[in-house]
Amino acid sequence: MAWLMVNFGISKSLVLVAQLLLGWILSPSDFGVYAISVAITSLVTVFKDGGIRELLVQRWQEYDKLVGPVFWLGVCVNVIAGLVLAAIAPLAALAYDEPSLLWMVLITAVWIPLSSTYSIQYVRLRLDLRFKTIAWLGLTSGIIRYGGQVALALSGFGAVSFVLPLLATAIYEAIIGYAVTREWPWRHRVDMSRWPDLLREVRWIVWGNLMAGGLGQSYYLVVGLFVSKDIIGVYFFAMQLLFHVESVIGNTLQQVLVPVLSRFKHDAERTGGAAVRTIRATMLVTVPAVLGLAVVFPGIEESITIWQGKWEPAIWPLIVLSIGYPLRMILVGVASTILQAQGRWAAWAWLWTHNAVGLTIVAGVAGGVFRSPLAISVAVSAFLFATGFISTLTTVTHLGVPARTVIGSIFDVFLLGIVAAAASLYVEFEFGQALPPLLRSAVCGSMFGVLYLVAVRLVVPTHMSEGLSALPGFIARPIARLLLLPPPSGGQS
């Protein structure tokens, strides 16, 4: 967990820098085209691996028996998914009158089967609890992907720059994945006799993936029926800044918790205790990451003169979305993860069904009625807040944890962060305009950080201690001394 948390910090900085550079090179329309591409391809990419990778993690005791059938079934599903996307590509380009969509969808169609090998190698690393290796692989793969995006954008590839590096990362991950696991999945038996049973077991996983990844992203298509690509692009730019945080923190929690919680999935008391600690740690990290980004972005946007103000309309959408996003993070990192670890696939699928359908309706109505990125952001943020809270409360109380404990774990840190962010933004907009934009961003960001740390230290010091115990010792111990906390017992060296 410790190394994954360090990787979180580095990766967050990496993707933020990449998006800032892409925001300079590319136009809002390019981001809008990418949003449409994501919405189209996600309807098919959710079938990637046939949903059986999650099953292999959950049934870790049977890895040696299942790895061959799981891999070869996944390859077949991936090839079919790639062919379906290849067939859709020209229709998508024609429907949206956007030639670049053809290449973006085709590249994704090739990437899906190309990534089959690392899917199994990744499972092997998770089951062996080799989180340091996962963190290192994720970081180096991210450098290739996001560095490639910037290089291609500078070379004039436009919106295609977002997806072309996927091919390079798939090849890199397969090669390095073999180097660290010595696992070549295609050496295992096909054993097609197991395929029907596997498919029956994963039907809820596939459905949940379709809801979480497919309809969960396809609301861009619905909104696109009512607003221009520029409006979608502004909203998508703000949402992507926050989604990068989710992809790192949420993936970190799932990488760690699913294989760990699967080992005592029948012990509700232990699972409930782990859930409460995870909620506290998630909020402790997510709140400053998300709200801090909202605090510093106005000054950053204004200071990057090469943007020429084209992302100024994304400032308030980002601020509004940052209020609901921490609750989205505990849905992804806690509620969804617990259901996966316990093998409650039907409940997991319905969780994401409600989320996807509701999000599509809410965003579509806001886009159709108000036709502005801010209105869409208000509606989506409120929805994320409500569904994150209700889903997490329902899932964790099902384990026997009192509702008061769950609510306190969620809102203790969240409310402190909201107060710190509101104070910092007030100072920024009311008194900071005389300062140079970058200095204003640094001052208000520092103000937020200090207010947040002091508030958490004074009001909920146990949350801070628990969070520090998940960090490497060389990071945790100096912070504990600075905050006058006892040395973290769980700090890793």
* Low-confidence winner among 83-97, 151-165, 214-228 (lowest mean pLDDT): 214-228
pLDDT digits (tens, 9 = 90+) for 130-171: 877 887 888 899 899 999 999 999 999 999 999 999 999 999
Residues 185 and 266 reside in one and the same domain: no
Q: Is residue 169 part of a domain?
A: yes
Residue 7 has what pLDDT?
59
Residues 193 and 233 reside in one and the same domain: no
Smallest Cα–Cα separation from 138: which of 151, 153, 125, 152?
A: 125
Q: Which two tokens stand for residue 398?
A: 């099902």
Cα–Cα distance, 23 to 35 (Å, whole number)? 14
Confidence of residue 6 (pLDDT cuts 50, 70, 90): low
Smallest Cα–Cα separation from 350: which of 385, 404, 390, 410?
A: 390
Alpha-carbon distance values, 160 to 34, 50, 399 (Å):
8, 27, 46
- Mean per-residue pLDDT over the chain, rounded: 85
Q: Is residue 311 part of a domain?
A: yes
Confidence of residue 492 (pLDDT cuts 50, 70, 90): very low
Q: Is residue 302 part of a domain?
A: yes
Residues 282 and 421 reside in one and the same domain: yes
How many C-beta neighbours within 10 Å does residue 200 have?
9
Give the count of domains, the chain.
Answer: 2
Final residue of a structural domain among 201, 217, 239: 201
Range of the domain at 5: 1-201
Residue 422 has what pLDDT?
97
Residues 233 and 191 reside in one and the same domain: no
Q: Which two tokens stand for residue 193?
A: 């006799």
Residues 28 and 128 reside in one and the same domain: yes
Q: What is the mean pLDDT of residues 482-488?
A: 73
Spatial neighbors of 295 by CB under 8 A, at least 6 apart, are: 421, 424, 425, 428, 444, 445, 448
Beta bridge partners of 472: 492
Q: Is residue 472 part of a domain?
A: no
Residue 255 has what pLDDT?
60
Q: What is the mean pLDDT of residues 205-233?
A: 77
Spatial neighbors of 156 by CB under 8 A, at least 6 apart, are: none
Q: Is residue 304 part of a domain?
A: yes
Residues 287 and 183 reside in one and the same domain: no
Beta bridge partners of 492: 472
Query: Model-level pTM?
Result: 0.75
Residues 183 and 273 reside in one and the same domain: no
Residues 184 and 232 reside in one and the same domain: no
Name residue 210's amino acid.
L
Q: Is residue 480 part of a domain?
A: no
Burial 337-370 (b: 16+ CB within 10 A, else e): bbbbbbbbbebbbbbbbebbeebbebbbbbbeee
Query: Residue 463 in contact with residue 413, Cβ under 8 Å?
Result: yes
Q: Which two tokens stand for residue 427?
A: 């100072």
pLDDT digits (tens, 9 = 90+) for 365-418: 999 999 899 999 999 999 999 999 999 999 999 999 999 999 999 999 999 999
Question: For 492, phi and psi rounded to 5 degrees?
Answer: -100, 140
- Which is higher by pLDDT, 478 or 226? 226
Residues 274 and 423 reside in one and the same domain: yes
Residues 162 and 110 reside in one and the same domain: yes
How many C-beta neighbours within 10 Å does residue 415 have?
13
pLDDT digits (tens, 9 = 90+) for 20-43: 789 889 988 899 899 889 888 887
Q: Is residue 210 part of a domain?
A: no
Cα–Cα distance, 421 to 321 (Å, whole number)? 13
Q: Is residue 491 part of a domain?
A: no
Angle at which helices 373-397 and 345-370 pack, to 10 degrees?
160
Residues 339 and 412 reside in one and the same domain: yes
pLDDT digits (tens, 9 = 90+) for 349-358: 888 888 888 9
Residues 395 and 270 reside in one and the same domain: yes
Name residue 274's amino acid.
A
